[in-house]
Amino acid sequence: MSQEENLQPEVNTEHQILVAARKVFTRKGYAAARMEDIAKEAGINRALLHYYFRSKDRLFEMVFDENIRKFYGSFIGILTADAPIDIRIRNLVSAEIDMLLHNQDLPLFVLNEITRNPELLSTRINLLPLREFKQVFVRVITEEAAKGNIRQINPLHVLLHLMSLCVFPFVGRPMFVAISGATPEQFEAIMEERKQLIAETLIQLIKPR
Amino acid sequence: MSQEENLQPEVNTEHQILVAARKVFTRKGYAAARMEDIAKEAGINRALLHYYFRSKDRLFEMVFDENIRKFYGSFIGILTADAPIDIRIRNLVSAEIDMLLHNQDLPLFVLNEITRNPELLSTRINLLPLREFKQVFVRVITEEAAKGNIRQINPLHVLLHLMSLCVFPFVGRPMFVAISGATPEQFEAIMEERKQLIAETLIQLIKPR
DNA sequence: CTTGTGTTTAACAATTTAGTTAAACTTATG
DNA sequence: CATAAGTTTAACTAAATTGTTAAACACAAG
């Protein structure tokens, strides 16, 4: 029949395993993640895990690829949109923080795995889109500076400001929660507030002097 | 004789082990650190490691305590000094980045271990000085705002800006290096530049509107 | 020289974990 | 029903790792 093939791709076992693996790997990191944890999370047993995916490394590879794409995925499009630079910055910050609010474990996972194993970036294709984003970013900042819309400034500083302000709160979240006593809801509210604050900070940073 | 006791505390084995453990744990994290690695780094063998420190956990505990103290240690003093607020901010940022340049693996280690095991903060004494720093910070910002030296702003936002801008580059360093191609020397130079940029950003953030 | 502390060597036990395998069971489909 | 793919159970291997132990060794101090 014409509807034979997978009406609900979410409920086949292979996909369930991938979802479970992403959750476990992203939360605990490669070293601390146990195949048993993933099996339990997926509601199956270890034997079936290896039946679908040969090894822990293969599973991790897929999760890492997906996660690193997600990590910078939200950045790329907005930057080259047809809008004034400060609008683009507002949209960029907002999109990035929205993505991070939905994937709070993502940054620590990505930064961790890259630190422990830099070849994840250098040997794989993973680096290319990241490089491309950086080039687009540098070009945009340089062009806007040439037009006089913003001041002359090393684009890498702007990039570091952007990444720092958006990403760090999610990496430092447990420490922030410990010292501030914020609940998850309060943390989320603070990050919503920060969207504006961060955008204003960045606009202030690049404003002609 | 009067000079019998330890003229060079750096060369006794116990201290050598602690230095080695700090290096290995801080670089690789608890889960990935091997007792064998620590022994090799200290130039001894595993048996002697257990002769001095009963277990991996005990060793880790000491390293963690030392590291978390170092992590916020540089913050505390400067904040209450007798100087205009923007001078204090400049000094704070400068001291913090200097500390991080000398302990580049520190932030990822601390944030990682706290994330994987939040009780490290909640059950131990470790949280107290951190809380104290936060209280001092909030008080200083609030007082300065009351005096009209700075604008009304949630001190937690200022704290997050400060931590984000200072700490993140060291957590994201491998990714930054991968996309920018910066050498270690260039990275260090960029961070030196950023001292001023970050201080200006923070001053701009709290400036009366 | 003797003694005790620090140290190495080497072997060992215990535990955890990844990965494999064979057999049995389930279930949808022809 | 018969078959095949999916799944479970249970046992297993192999490797890595922490921690222990006994014996020998080095060496400084009495």
The string of DSSP letters for A145-164 reads HHHTSS----HHHHHHHHHH
Using an 8 Å Cβ cutoff, are A49 and A38 in contact? yes
* Euclidean distance between CA atoms B1 and A187, whole angstroms: 61
Using an 8 Å Cβ cutoff, are A17 and A44 in contact? yes
Select the CATH number that applies to the domain covering A60-206 from these four: 3.90.76.10, 1.10.357.10, 2.60.120.10, 1.10.390.10.
1.10.357.10
Q: Where in chain B is the domain with CATH 1.10.10.60?
A: 1-54
B25 alpha carbon, distance to own chain's centre: 14
Residue positions counted in chain A: 209
For the segment A40-47, the average pLDDT, to the nearest whole number, is 95
Nucleotide nearest to B50 (CA to C1'): D19
Q: Give every CB contact of residue A195 below 8 A, 6+ residues apart in sequence.
A: A90, A93, A94, A97
Q: Nearest C-alpha of chain A: how many angstroms from B199? A: 12
Ranges assigned E (strand) in A79-151: none
* Euclidean distance between CA atoms A137 and B55, whole angstroms: 49
* Euclidean distance between CA atoms A73 and A94, whole angstroms: 13
pLDDT at A11: 66
Q: Where in chain B is the domain with CATH 1.10.357.10?
A: 57-206
Token duo for residue B78: 């400067």
Token duo for residue B205: 């953030």
pLDDT at B87: 95
Interface contact A29-B31, CB threshold 8 A: yes
Q: Tell me the residue type at B12.
A: N
CATH placement of domain B57-206 = 1.10.357.10
Best of A72, A93, A97, A111 to substitute, by most chain B Cβ atoms within 10 angstroms, is A111
* Euclidean distance between CA atoms B14 and B17, whole angstroms: 5
Q: Give every CB contact of residue A206 below 8 A, 6+ residues apart in sequence.
A: A85, A141, A144, A150, A151, A153, A158
Nucleotides of strand D under 7 angstroms from a protein beta carbon = 6-11, 17-22
Tell me if the domain spanning B1-54 has CATH number 1.10.10.60. yes
Nucleotides of strand C under 7 angstroms from a protein beta carbon = 6-11, 17-22
- Does the nearest atom of strand D lie within 7 Å of A35's Cβ? no
Helix axes B184-206, B173-180, angle to 10 degrees: 110
Interface contact B168-A163, CB threshold 8 A: yes
- Does the nearest atom of strand D lie within 7 Å of B50's Cβ? yes
Q: Where in chain A is the domain with CATH 1.10.357.10?
A: 60-206
Best of A179, A188, A205, A206 to substitute, by most chain B Cβ atoms within 10 angstroms, is A179
Q: Tell me the residue type at A160.
A: L
- What is the number of CB-based contacts under 8 A between chain A and chain B? 134
For residue A173, the chain B residues in CB contact (below 8 A) are 115
pLDDT, one tens digit per residue, over A97-122 is: 999 999 999 999 999 999 998 888 87
| Lowest-pLDDT choice from A21-30, A37-46, A123-132, B61-70 | A123-132
Give me the residue from B114, B157, B169 closest to A197, CB to CB: B157
Choose among A21, A26, A191: nearest CA to A109: A26
pLDDT at B133: 86
pLDDT at A143: 95
Using an 8 Å Cβ cutoff, are A92 and A75 in contact? yes
CA of residue A52 to C1' of nucleotide C25, angstroms: 19
Give me the residue from B108, B121, B160 closest to A112, CB to CB: B108
CA of residue A56 to C1' of nucleotide C18, angstroms: 8
Share the mean pLDDT of chain A. Answer: 90
Best of A161, A186, A204 to substitute, by most chain B Cβ atoms within 10 angstroms, is A161
- Does the nearest atom of strand D lie within 7 Å of B54's Cβ? yes
pLDDT at B9: 43
DSSP type of residue B182: -
Interface contact B178-A112, CB threshold 8 A: no
* Euclidean distance between CA atoms B95 and B123, whole angstroms: 29
Using an 8 Å Cβ cutoff, are A98 and B95 in contact? no
Q: Which residues touch strand C (CB under 7 A)?
A: A 33-36, 46-47, 50, 54-57; B 13, 43-48, 51
pLDDT at A129: 80
- Does the nearest atom of strand D lie within 7 Å of A45's Cβ? yes
* Mean pLDDT, each 10-residue run in order, chain B (209 residues): 37 91 96 95 95 94 92 78 92 95 97 91 76 90 95 96 97 95 97 98 95
CA of residue A28 to C1' of nucleotide D4, angstroms: 38
pLDDT at A7 over 90: no
CA atoms B129, B135, B139, B145: torsion sign: positive
Torsion-angle region of A181 (φ positive above 0: left; ψ -120 to 50: alpha; else: beta):
left
For the segment A164-183, the average pLDDT, to the nearest whole number, is 96
* Euclidean distance between CA atoms B88 and A200, whole angstroms: 23
